[in-house]
Structure 1
Amino acid sequence: MTFTRSIRRTAAIAGLAVATLALGACSKGERPRADLAAAQVSTIGVNSYLWRASLEAVSFAPLLQADSSGGVIVTDWYANPNNPGERVKMTVTILDRDLRADALRVAASRQVAQSGGWVDAPVQAATVQKLEDIILTKARELRRQAIAN
């Protein structure tokens, strides 16, 4: 859990850095323009809104890797306590600095318990699409909040 907190803290610091840059770019008394919260604003290698939204979306699972420069988040296997005979692993890849739907790729693997071991099972495409939608919706919300502030 300490690693997860560290990643969340890093994401929060990156968010504050974006806000600081936005405020520092303005003259005295001038309100930050919406352009400063644009889709391309980032102090990391990828779109910061997509990055933060992705971390939040997969926060229920333990993280194996989180590389903000390369835009890759990989979770470890997660088994829902209500269904311990099934587990999932996710990889979220952010491909661009723009906040666009095609700048996000989510892949999931699923396994089911069978004969004392784990066997690969198919993942429904709708499941991956739903996770992408959740991330994109949250990223847009974060951007709207940045513009409003």
Structure 2
Amino acid sequence: MKSPLLATGIAGAALALSSCGGGNNVAPVAMAPADMTQIGVNAFLWQAAVDTLSFAPLLQANSSDGIVLTDWYSSPGAPNERIKVTAAILDAQLRADAIRVTAIKQVNQNGNWVEAPVTAATVQKLEDIILTRARDIRRTTIAPAG
């Protein structure tokens, strides 16, 4: 059974991503290299992780070590659940195994926050959204003439 909080967060992230790009969906002829690393980690994955996790308040967004950490987030539709998400960028290359997302979920039981399981599918969905966004950012970035 999908948690309303997680479903709302993922749906919000997907909705935000679906509105990116506007009207012209034609990719530029030249694409930027896949290893944009001027900030210490892959810049496309970094920006995509920040964009995707911006549905929650960010506690840390450190581009040199590649960590994006949210604070606890409760959806208005599920105030008795909250989630905290960490995205770690592990490589300078834009690759599927270069992003690792972890999530912690808690539910309020009698005034106490208690740990609750987060499904692997939820974490995988967040990773997929970040990867898709990173590829979209790369596709719209023209490689410098050289």
Indicate the TM-score class for this superposition, using the shorter chain for normalisation.
Answer: 0.7 to 0.9
Q: Percent identity?
A: 60
State the partner residue of 2:105: 110
State the partner residue of 1:124: 119
State the partner residue of 1:64: 59
Note the C-alpha offset of 1:34. 4.1
Residue 47, structure 1, aligned to residue 42, structure 2: yes
Structure 2's unaligned 5+ residue stretches are: 1-28
Distance 1:95 1:125 in 2: 19
Distance 2:143 2:132 in 1: 17
Distance 2:128 2:143 in 1: 22
Q: CA offsets per residue over residues 54-105 of structure 1, 9 Å max, x none?
A: 0000001011111100000110000001110100000000011100011100
Distance 1:60 1:107 in 2: 16
Distance 1:43 1:34 in 2: 20
State the partner residue of 1:89: 84
Q: With CA pairs under 8 Å and 6+ residues apart, which has the higher RCO, 1 or 2?
A: 2
Distance 2:122 2:106 in 1: 14
State the partner residue of 1:6: none
May I ask how many residue pairs the two structures share in their alignment? 116
Q: CA offsets per residue over residues 3-41 of structure 1, 9 Å max, x none?
A: xxxxxxxxxxxxxxxxxxxxxxxxxxxxxx947x11112
TM-score normalized by the length of structure 2: 0.76
1:42–1:148 Cα change, 3 Å: closer
Bigger share in helix: 1
CA contact (8 A) 2:33 2:143 kept: no
Helix, strand or coil at the partner of 1:110 = strand
State the partner residue of 1:23: none
Distance 1:122 1:147 in 2: 42
CA contact (8 A) 2:57 2:73 kept: yes
